[in-house]
């Protein structure tokens, strides 16, 4: 699946002589599948552990190993790659390459490219614990961080020596998330603060049972991930889900509608936009039993009371405190989709509402949506992966933030 922040980006991947070099093949594969153009530079030591052909088969581009090799008749390899790169990633990064980068040495293709590039640099260290903890390595890492180099890892775990400790390279999937954050740091939402809610709420009527809905939280999590990729500072407030919060977002876990309401208002004062993707329960039991209710009768009657209407309260607060706050709501409807969504937009004074037919979109990886604004304009989206729907919503949010003078 292509990822917007990676699509068409030129990433130079440096591979050095650590046993973790095999993980770099998986990293290259993830990046290519996400739409990036990947050029691999291997050190001489790396080629003792893995063959250049492995990378060439995945990237469909020639692997660079020789500093004096010309990419074209007059193109000097390290200079050309340094200029073309949107990001230089060195994974795995040995203690040796960290030392050479820290001290500005340039005696092979990789170190020379690193010295020549103006692109951001991300390194993923991999080495034995003693080497990582050595004061020389720590001084080198500190110096690189001061220069703006992004250092990811290492992680604790089982090492090549058979020992366990700090020194494992961060896994490729997690590195892709860090790469997305670095590339998105200057996106159209850079410096903006977004609050996103996700998932359903659980309203307990005894210690083990609750009233809830089928929301998976996937749409809200996709919005948080996409906003992060565009440079936003994201607060994700989530009800119970089976999802892992995206890397780099401020995450708040809640259970009930009241807890979500409190978390939203705690996050709003500094926010530029609120995107209420959560499926908040409208009602909660009047009484929650202290102990598990026993099955003693043929029927059970629960008395319910209204939960806080978070968007209605936000509208009241916004009118006096933050009129330039952008507020986006969702309408999940089983009938009269557009009419019901429009009524909610007007009643809650929203800037944008995303109308979804249910139950078709609950729990699915794809979503069908209609975007409706205050002027009555509508954008109908064909069924798309939820990350793509999130991007379309954020396109409009970015415009609304500017329109409101934020």
**Total residue length of the chain:** 406
E strand or H helix at 262, and its extent?
Answer: helix 257-267
Which conformational region is residue 134 in: left (phi greater than 0), alpha (psi within -120 to 50 degrees), or beta? beta
Intra-chain end-to-end CA distance of the chain, in Å: 33
324 in catalytic set: no
Per the CB < 8 A criterion, the answer to whether 331 and 355 are in contact is yes
Secondary structure (3-state) at 112: helix
Give, in order, the Cα–Cα distances in Å from 113 to each of 40, 42, 87, 299.
11, 12, 11, 73
Residues whose CB falls within 8 Å of the CB of residue 126, separated by 6 or more in sequence, listed in order: 18, 19, 20, 91, 92, 93, 94, 153, 154, 167, 168, 169
Q: Which H or E run includes 312?
A: helix 310-321
How far is the CA of 188 from the CAs of 64, 105, 267, in angstroms? 34, 36, 21
Q: Could you give the maximum distance between any two Cα atoms of the chain, in Å?
A: 86
Active-site option among 134, 213, 340, 373: 213
Indicate which residues carry an active-site annotation. Answer: 213
């Amino acid at each position: 699946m292509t990822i917007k922040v990676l699509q068409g980006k030129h990433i130079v991947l440096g591979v050095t002589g650590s046993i973790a070099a095999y993980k770099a093949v998986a990293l290259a594969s993830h990046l290519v599948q996400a739409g990036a153009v990947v050029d691999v530079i291997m050190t001489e030591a790396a080629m003792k552990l893995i063959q250049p052909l492995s990378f060439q088969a995945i990237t469909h581009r020639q692997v660079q190993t020789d500093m004096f090799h010309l990419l074209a008749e007059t193109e000097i390899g390290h200079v050309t790659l340094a200029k073309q790169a949107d990001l230089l990633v060195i994974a795995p990064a040995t203690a040796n390459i960290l030392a050479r980068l820290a001290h500005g040495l340039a005696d092979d293709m990789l170190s020379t490219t690193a010295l020549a590039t103006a692109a951001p640099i991300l390194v993923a260290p991999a080495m034995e614990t003693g080497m990582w903890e050595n004061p020389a390595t720590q001084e080198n890492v500190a110096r690189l961080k001061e220069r703006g180099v992004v250092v990811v890892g290492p992680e604790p775990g089982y090492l090549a020596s058979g020992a366990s400790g700090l020194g494992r390279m961060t896994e490729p999937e997690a590195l892709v998330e860090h790469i997305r954050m670095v590339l998105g740091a200057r996106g159209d939402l850079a410096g903006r603060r977004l609050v996103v809610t996700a998932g359903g709420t659980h309203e307990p009527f005894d210690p083990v049972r609750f009233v809830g809905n089928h929301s998976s939280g996937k749409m809200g999590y996709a919005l948080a991930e996409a906003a992060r990729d565009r440079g936003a500072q994201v607060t994700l407030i989530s009800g119970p889900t089976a999802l892992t919060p995206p890397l780099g977002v401020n995450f708040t876990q809640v259970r009930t509608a009241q807890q979500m309401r409190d978390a939203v208002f705690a996050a709003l004062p500094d926010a530029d936009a609120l995107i209420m993707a959560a499926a908040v329960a409208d009602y909660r039991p009047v009484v929650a039993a202290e102990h598990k209710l026993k099955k003693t009768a043929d029927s059970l009657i629960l008395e319910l009371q209204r939960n806080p209407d978070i968007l209605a309260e936000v509208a009241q607060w916004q009118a006096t405190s933050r009129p330039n706050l952008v507020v986006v709501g969702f309408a999940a409807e089983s009938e009269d989709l557009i009419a019901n969504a429009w009524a909610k937009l007007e009643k809650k004074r929203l800037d944008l509402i995303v109308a979804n037919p249910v139950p078709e979109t609950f729990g699915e990886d794809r979503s069908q949506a209609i975007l409706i604004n205050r002027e009555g304009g509508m954008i109908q989206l064909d069924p798309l992966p939820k990350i793509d729907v999130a991007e379309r919503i954020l396109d409009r949010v970015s415009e609304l933030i500017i329109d409101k003078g934020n």
